[in-house]
Structure 1
Amino acid sequence: MRLTSFAVLLLCGAVQAAPGAVSLEQAGVLYERHCQSCHGANRLGGAGPALLPESLSRIKPDEARAIISNGRPASQMAAFSDSLNAAEIDGLVSYLYQPAATPPTWSDADIRASHRMLADVGALPSTPKHDADPLNLFVVVEAGNHHVRVLDGDRFEELANFPSHFALHGGPKFSPDGRFVYFASRDGWVSVYDLHNLTMIAEVRAGLNTRNLAVSNDGRWVLVGNYLPGNLVLLDARDLSLIKHIPTVGLDGTSSRVSAVYTAPPRDSFVVALKDVTEAWELSYAGEPTFEPRRIEAADFLDDFSFTPDYRHLLATSRKAHGGQVIDLDTGKAVTDIPLPGMPHLGSGIYWKRDGKWVFATPNVSKGLISVLDLQSWELIKEIPTEGPGFFMRSHENSKYAWTDVFFGPNNDAVHLIDKQTLEVAHTLRPMPGKNAAHVEFTRDGRHLLLSVWDTDGALIVYDANSLEEIKRIPMNKASGKYNVGNKIEFAEGTSH
């Protein structure tokens, strides 16, 4: 399919290719061949983000060239230096910075027109139709074939298997009682599924390129963060009907994409990180909320963040930050920088108690180490060497180990088990040698855990959390993430929020 943005420019004579250079038309063909499967037709985004001038405002062309050539840490962006020459990469960069012939928009009318009711919740039983523990279910995202599986977390047997929208992103979120699970796909579709009745309830397209969503702790609201258009979309959690959209515009008038949105239960609020302005937002959902943002000035652009156990502080970072920063949500002030090397992935960090004091550990997507911080002094306690850069960490209050992957690099088949008291690597497992092992999630009681092998011929592997004995192996096509209902709705120690 020929993309119109470069065709219009050619017809207008706006671009003249230099001798030996790649024309915009040729670059468009390269985009279709190498980029479209992840970044979407018309560059609107898919598994990867949208590639339009509106979404590339903070990336200079030289940086874009480097990313195309060398890939990008903490993403699925591959390196193309072996398959594209310098002229082809230059041509692609020029093409990506050309505006679309028709600027992409997604209005309230578009959102409402996409809304679909698939089942009548009022007509469905309020008690589970299955005999599994509803708080020990696992929702498994099978990325290789765009499916979701629901597993019984006691017997590790499948209860349901259904197709999802393309490239689910940001992790599913649950209603406070655990009955409903909400999904957001990269291409903007939001769905709600009834885990009691194993039935899809509703769906709506909230944007064109979506980052993630959060569910309020009272179960009333779903807030969706979009890259394109840059905004927040508020939905009724019961049926995903549109309440309103909230433009993400900084105090200086700059429009921004949304990096992340999470719920902060003790605060009765959503907290939002903005990618293109140095602000974090807090939106209260207590009482009869207006959802007017409380603006908090940040010291840097924010990509993602974690909360401290009391939800008073954010530990936030961005790709350009040297480590990260601590933001006090009560005072609205940046407290201090976090002394971390490389590119810490704070959004996947976890906390636990060591010698009676809270510590926080984060993987690093550019260096082979785990950084452990004291959550009182914000000082670095230890750097734990690993076999390569990692992406996910998980633990459980009943486990003596923190599990971390080596997601990037030649040793990505390894998983390290770190003793949470000695801060030493106690065990290294290779569940399927030569295949990428990642993303652990514990059962609600912490007795077992599930680990993904991210491969077309991969698996979901069940381990005894104490003996480390393999209990079961379930073949899967790139089982990316798995999420335990009880751990997620209780915001349990050792899991992500």
Structure 2
Amino acid sequence: MRRTALPVVLALSALLAGCATAVRGTGDMGVVVERAAGRIQVVETSGMTRLATIDGFGDLSHASVVFARDGRYAYVFGRDGGLTRVDLLNAKVTHRTIQAGNSIGGAITQDGRVVAAQNYEPGGIRLFDAATLEPLADIPAIGPDGRRSKVVGLADLPGKRLAASLFEAGEIWIIDVADPRHPKVTKLPAGKQPYDGLVTPDGRWYLAGLFGEDGLALVDLWQSPPAARHVLSGYGRGSAPLPVYKMPHLRGWAMAQGKAWLPAIGRHEVLIADTANGWQEAGRVEVAGQPVFVMAQPDGRQVWVNFAFPNNETVQVIDTATRKVVRTLKPCRGVLHMEFTPKGEAVWLSCRDDNRVVVYDTTSYEPLATLPADHPSGIFFTSRAQRFGM
């Protein structure tokens, strides 16, 4: 036995050593979407480097990504209806299905077992097993008039539920997926043309922006039964809205200093709502253009804002204590997306028209790194897996 033990031990040690070099955690990993090329980059934020590039995702012109609860798998939703499951550690596609004709995003349930896709064509929500992408249920988005509606603002909620907004139908749906093969839907009137939606970090409130009227629709998810009501209804009263070049994204909103910081559609303003006082307007901040994303650093001290055309080369930083713009940056042409590192020491910006991603220090506002990318758009980090609605 002594003659064979040493070679076995050496072989085992070599194997373990080889495995050790390949093992890493997923907490600092993420995905950059290269929209024109139909591929993604796998990146890591600690060293600010690209780890891999993966092709074969189809139309990523309006792609979004959610993550498995352990951060290993990314689910990529493509504009062409493609739903793709990616193993980030091995940098390969594990499953892919064309589940609709036109899709703009999705969600993953609280327990990480069900992936949901929101679809424009045909309008509706489809549920899939997160491990296999086996279809579980198809929920047609039929409005009160009997016609199909586009689905937007899909978000995961506590209690194995989802929330979504129906654009043409003017409704918010709360969907119980405890039994994902037999989901139960509660339908709430919302207002004219809800265009996006989000859930607060504590999972209590679902908020939908309204394209067809001033204001937002708000649902208290702790209330039973839930009901929708209007808030911030008068923010544009008395003045004509500006042309809307790009719809603002509520999913990139900000919660800071106990307030909600929201993009005002058709305005050069960020709205502030007091969530402890019935979501009443608590102020406005004038900014350089029409906000698209209004995003808070993880500590809530600052809010970063990017803008629609023709101001999409600009990023502004708002100090939430003083409610003033404290820095205006011109990082590149076509800033489409921003994503903070998990604890907010840096922010990544996608520069579509300059074919790069730029990383900025959030204290000094100095650039830290530049990564080449082919017309990048969305940036998504695995830290989203631990937050509702992301």
Higher relative contact order, chain-length normalized (CA < 8 Å, sep 6+): 2
Q: Is the 8 A contact 2:348 2:358 kept in 1?
A: yes
Q: CA deviation at 1:347?
A: 1.7
Kindly, what percent of the aligned residue pairs are identical? Answer: 26
Residues 257/263 of structure 1: CA separation in 2 closer, same or farther (3 Å cut)? same
Within the candidate set 407, 420, 437, 2:308 is matched to 407
Q: CA deviation at 1:391?
A: 0.7
1:113 corresponds to: none
Q: Is the 8 A contact 1:186 1:211 kept in 2?
A: yes
Residues 450/397 of structure 1: CA separation in 2 closer, same or farther (3 Å cut)? same
Give the Cα–Cα distance (whole angstroms) in 1 for the partners of residues 256 and 313 of structure 2.
Answer: 29
Q: Is the 8 A contact 2:250 2:263 kept in 1?
A: no
Give the Cα–Cα distance (whole angstroms) in 1 for the partners of residues 148 and 38 of structure 2.
Answer: 32
Runs of 4+ off more than 6 Å: none
- CA offsets, 1:425-446, max 9 Å, x none? 01111113xx122422111122
Within the candidate set 442, 462, 466, 2:363 is matched to 466
TM-score w.r.t. the length of structure 1 is 0.68
Q: CA deviation at 1:132?
A: 4.5
Q: CA deviation at 1:175?
A: 0.9
Q: Spell out the pairing of 1:153-168 with structure 2 (5 A cutoff).
A: 153-163=45-55, 164-167=57-60
Give the Cα–Cα distance (whole angstroms) in 2 for the partners of residues 452 and 485 of structure 1.
Answer: 17
Residues 259/197 of structure 1: CA separation in 2 closer, same or farther (3 Å cut)? same
Q: Does 1:188 align with 2:81?
A: yes
Give the Cα–Cα distance (whole angstroms) in 2 for the partners of residues 305 and 351 of structure 1.
Answer: 13
Q: CA deviation at 1:252?
A: 4.7
1:76 corresponds to: none
Q: Spell out the pairing of 1:164-243 with structure 2 (5 A cutoff).
A: 164-167=57-60, 169-243=62-136
* Stretch of structure 1 that moved more, 203-212 or 312-321: 312-321
Aligned to 2:202, the other structure's residue is in SS state coil
Residues 130/485 of structure 1: CA separation in 2 closer, same or farther (3 Å cut)? farther
Aligned to 1:392, the other structure's residue is in SS state strand
Give the Cα–Cα distance (whole angstroms) in 1 for the partners of residues 253 and 220 of structure 2.
Answer: 18
Residues 131/419 of structure 1: CA separation in 2 closer, same or farther (3 Å cut)? farther
2:344 corresponds to: 446
Give the Cα–Cα distance (whole angstroms) in 2 for the partners of residues 260 and 282 of structure 1.
Answer: 12
Residues 439/128 of structure 1: CA separation in 2 closer, same or farther (3 Å cut)? farther
Code of the residue aligned with 1:314 in structure 2: it is: Y
Code of the residue aligned with 1:279 in structure 2: it is: E
Residues 170/284 of structure 1: CA separation in 2 closer, same or farther (3 Å cut)? farther
Q: Is the 8 A contact 2:36 2:60 kept in 1?
A: no
Mark the runs of 5 or more structure 1 residues left unpaired by the alignment: 1-126
Q: Spell out the pairing of 1:58-457 with structure 2 (5 A cutoff).
A: 130-163=22-55, 164-167=57-60, 169-264=62-157, 266-286=158-178, 290-329=182-221, 330=223, 331-339=225-233, 340-341=235-236, 342=241, 345=248, 347-354=250-257, 358-377=258-277, 378-398=279-299, 400-409=301-310, 411-432=311-332, 435-455=333-353, 457=354
Give the Cα–Cα distance (whole angstroms) in 2 for the partners of residues 206 and 288 of structure 1.
Answer: 17
Q: Is the 8 A contact 1:440 1:451 kept in 2?
A: yes
Q: Is the 8 A contact 1:304 1:317 kept in 2?
A: yes
Q: CA-atom RMSD, angstroms?
A: 2.3
* Stretch of structure 1 that moved more, 266-275 or 244-253: 244-253
Higher helix proportion (structure 1 or 2): 1
Q: CA deviation at 1:170?
A: 4.8
Give the Cα–Cα distance (whole angstroms) in 2 for the partners of residues 202 and 186 of structure 1.
Answer: 17
2:9 corresponds to: none
Q: Is the 8 A contact 2:72 2:89 kept in 1?
A: yes
Higher strand proportion (structure 1 or 2): 2
Code of the residue aligned with 1:472 in structure 2: it is: A
Q: Is the 8 A contact 1:348 1:391 kept in 2?
A: no
Aligned to 2:291, the other structure's residue is in SS state coil
- CA offsets, 1:399-457, max 9 Å, x none? 62211112322x3211101001111001111113xx122422111122222111121x3
Aligned to 2:250, the other structure's residue is in SS state helix
Mark the runs of 5 or more structure 2 residues left unpaired by the alignment: 1-18
